């Protein structure tokens, strides 16, 4: 018997059964049943958040610290159980699920600390006898809209700073991963948040998400997801003159130079391109390789890919879990067909795999002989598919790396300090990695990109304050 998970609106768990959540490793396994909010529930949630804002925004740092710290502690204490549930609903491996859960706990811990460190500035006015104070205040009701690929870390890195800086929240998670979203909200609710401060509205993006975009009472929206939806968020937010922040797709390059350590380069490429089934906005989908190391790199990649264990996410031996659902699987397979039609050569994988249970298993795919003009080089696939682009030298590699509408992460594998330094300075990406995978970042430093990947202030770390607060300048004449 599955338990019905309800929406949290104004401190009450509400709603009837609306949707079922299926395990992508075994489609016979129903993870749970979830209430589905509509426009009425969205409006109620927004009204509750609006009503709760004045008191929460004036609550002292201790009240906010207590809730965030307690939440961090509970997530950490339950990391194995929550991580397993995350792997069951999203399809990433157990190790990845537990790792992501630990990260969520660390994020809540970090922002618990930030509540005690919020400061302002006091400067003399240019007018004698007048003082000027600059302080930061919460912005109001924040709409949080999240994707399915990091079901607990992305909600954590938006909810934690929003609460720390005194905002109230309407949270709409992705339809595919309601269990992780519900779990995090349940923990925060029991940690002692006053009613209305955090509201959960599970449901369709086109219905609940759209109701949030259309409401003049949502003062800011933090969105992570696809470029198409991001553009809708932007257009609706401009209409309402609201603050918004978008984290969207990537087509991240990993450059491998002749002087790279081959083992490091292959580790970075396999991790960056295929771990989490390639379903990371920071995945390395373009492997840009100079000609002196090209053939050795491709041979070593084939060897390594052949040894990867692809299977049920809940099996401890699995290194690559299934694709998240049928729609994403079709997209991956369509792009594999497109790559072939465009003239790239499939050097490894790309086939559906049968396992003991019905699931969306796909062999990691590696193309060679591709150019940067091909669609597989320009469009985000969001699956375990990468392509190698052969280049002459470092200068060509940098030019190809930057020739993309996206700019989230980039990486270079080299033993040359000169090239590593030049690449860090000249790569048009928000995050640059040297001898590290393009995916995999710290929780206490800014996260975000450039060009078509991101819009607005950075997320995470102390930089998150920029989005979740507004600055007030106050003048006092003491007489
Ligand atoms: P998506 O755009 O389909 O959905 C994201 C969220 O938006 C979901 O909660 C969805 O329900 C909601 N939504 C859909 N239509 C809406 C509407 N009309 N109004 C309001 N909300 C609506 O994206 P997805 O498929 O869940 O996630 C995959 C995408 O997310 C990829 O492009 C990936 O690169 C991106 N992503 C980016 C980052 C980053 O930080 N840059 C991180 C993770 C994922």
pLDDT band at 140 (very low <50, low <70, confident <90, very high): very high
Question: d(Cα 258, Cα 290) in Å, to the nearest integer?
Answer: 6
Share of the chain above pLDDT 90, in %: 98
Angle at which helices 94-115 and 61-77 pack, to 10 degrees?
160
pLDDT tens-digit map of 361-408 = 999 999 999 999 999 999 999 999 999 999 999 999 999 999 999 999
Whether 281 is catalytic is yes
| Nearest CA among 267, 252, 280 for reference residue 383 | 280
In the prediction, which pLDDT does 1 show? 63
Instruction: Judge whether residue 479 has pLDDT over 80.
Output: no
**Residue entry with tokens 């949630």:** 45
| Nearest CA among 5, 67, 60, 68 for reference residue 32 | 5
In the prediction, which pLDDT does 408 show? 98
pLDDT tens-digit map of 323-355 = 999 999 999 999 999 999 999 999 999 999 999
Whether 179 is catalytic is no
Instruction: Identify whether the C-beta of residue 310 lies closer than 8 Å to the C-beta of residue 320.
Output: yes
Minimal-distance CA residue to ligand 1 atom 23: 225
Question: d(Cα 400, Cα 406) in Å, to the nearest integer?
Answer: 12
Query: Edge-to-edge strands of the sheet including 121-124?
Result: 121-124, 130-138, 469-477
Give yes or no for residue 324 CB within 6 A of ligand 1.
no
Distance from Cα 272 to the centre of ligand 1, integer Å? 20
What integer best gives the mean pLDDT of the chain? 97
From the list 247, 333, 380, 459, the catalytic residue is 247
pLDDT band at 2 (very low <50, low <70, confident <90, very high): confident
Distance from Cα 64 to the centre of ligand 1, integer Å? 28
Minimal-distance CA residue to ligand 1 atom 10: 205
Concatenated DSSP letters of 310-378: B--TTSTT-SB---S-HHHHHHHHHHHHHHHHTT-EEEE---B---SS----B--EEEEEE-TTSHHHH
Distance from Cα 382 to the centre of ligand 1, integer Å? 12
Give yes or no for residue 209 CB within 6 A of ligand 1.
yes
3-state secondary structure of 248: coil
In the prediction, which pLDDT does 17 show? 81
Distance from Cα 41 to the centre of ligand 1, integer Å? 21
Distance from Cα 448 to the centre of ligand 1, integer Å? 15
Give yes or no for residue 387 CB within 6 A of ligand 1.
no
Give yes or no for residue 247 CB within 6 A of ligand 1.
yes
Give, rounded to a whole angstrom, the gap between the first and last alpha carbons of the chain.
71
Share of the chain above pLDDT 70, in %: 100
Q: What is the mean pLDDT of residues 111-117?
A: 97
Minimal-distance CA residue to ligand 1 atom 12: 205
Give yes or no for residue 213 CB within 6 A of ligand 1.
yes
pLDDT band at 424 (very low <50, low <70, confident <90, very high): very high
Instruction: Judge whether residue 22 has pLDDT over 90.
Output: yes
**Which tokens belong to 78?**
């339950």
Question: d(Cα 176, Cα 245) in Å, to the nearest integer?
Answer: 22
Give yes or no for residue 232 CB within 6 A of ligand 1.
yes
Instruction: Identify whether the C-beta of residue 15 lies closer than 8 Å to the C-beta of residue 41.
Output: yes
Give yes or no for residue 149 CB within 6 A of ligand 1.
yes
């Amino acid at each position: 018997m599955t338990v019905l998970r309800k929406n949290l609106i104004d401190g009450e768990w509400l709603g009837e059964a609306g949707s079922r959540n299926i395990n992508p490793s075994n489609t016979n396994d129903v993870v749970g049943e979830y209430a589905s909010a509509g426009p009425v529930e969205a409006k109620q949630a927004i009204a509750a958040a609006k009503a709760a804002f004045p008191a929460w925004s004036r609550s002292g740092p201790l009240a906010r610290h207590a809730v965030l710290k307690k939440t961090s502690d509970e997530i950490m204490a339950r990391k194995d159980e929550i991580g397993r549930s995350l792997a069951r609903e999203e399809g990433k491996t157990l190790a990845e699920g537990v790792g992501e859960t630990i990260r969520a706990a660390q994020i809540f811990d970090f922002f618990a600390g930030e509540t005690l460190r919020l400061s302002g500035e006091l400067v003399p006015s240019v007018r004698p006898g007048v003082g000027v104070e600059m302080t930061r205040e919460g912005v109001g009701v924040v709409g949080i809209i999240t994707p399915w690929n990091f079901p607990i870390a992305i909600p954590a890195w938006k909810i934690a700073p929003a609460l720390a800086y005194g905002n109230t929240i309407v949270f709409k998670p992705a339809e595919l991963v309601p269990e992780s979203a519900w779990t995090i909200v349940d923990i925060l609710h029991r940690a002692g948040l006053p009613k209305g401060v955090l509201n959960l509205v599970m449901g369709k993006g086109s219905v609940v998400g759209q109701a949030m975009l259309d409401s003049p009472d949502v003062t800011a929206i933090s969105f992570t997801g696809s470029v198409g939806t991001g553009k809708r968020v932007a257009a609706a937010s401009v209409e309402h003159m609201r603050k918004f922040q978008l984290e969207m797709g990537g087509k991240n390059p990993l450059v491998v130079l002749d002087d790279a350590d081959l083992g490091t380069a292959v580790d970075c490429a396999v991790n960056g391109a295929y771990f989490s089934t390639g379903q990371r906005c920071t995945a390395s989908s373009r492997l840009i390789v100079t000609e002196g190391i090209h053939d050795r790199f491709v041979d070593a990649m084939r060897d390594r890919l052949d040894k990867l264990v692809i299977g049920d996410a809940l099996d401890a031996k699995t290194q690559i879990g299934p694709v998240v659902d049928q729609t994403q699987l079709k997209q991956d397979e369509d792009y594999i067909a497109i790559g072939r039609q465009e003239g790239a050569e499939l050097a490894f994988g790309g086939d559906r795999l049968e396992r003991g249970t019905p699931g969306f298993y796909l062999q990691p795919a590696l193309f060679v002989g591709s150019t940067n003009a091909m669609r597989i080089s320009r469009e985000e696939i969001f699956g375990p598919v990468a392509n190698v682009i052969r280049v002459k030298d470092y200068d060509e590699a940098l030019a190809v790396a930057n020739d993309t509408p996206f700019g989230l992460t980039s990486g270079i594998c080299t033993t040359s300090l000169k090239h590593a330094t030049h690449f860090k300075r000249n790569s048009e990406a928000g995050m640059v990695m040297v001898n590290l995978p393009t995916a995999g970042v710290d929780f206490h430093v800014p996260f975000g990109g450039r060009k078509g990947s991101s819009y607005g202030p950075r997320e995470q770390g102390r930089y998150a304050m920029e989005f979740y607060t507004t600055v007030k300048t106050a003048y006092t004449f003491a007489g």
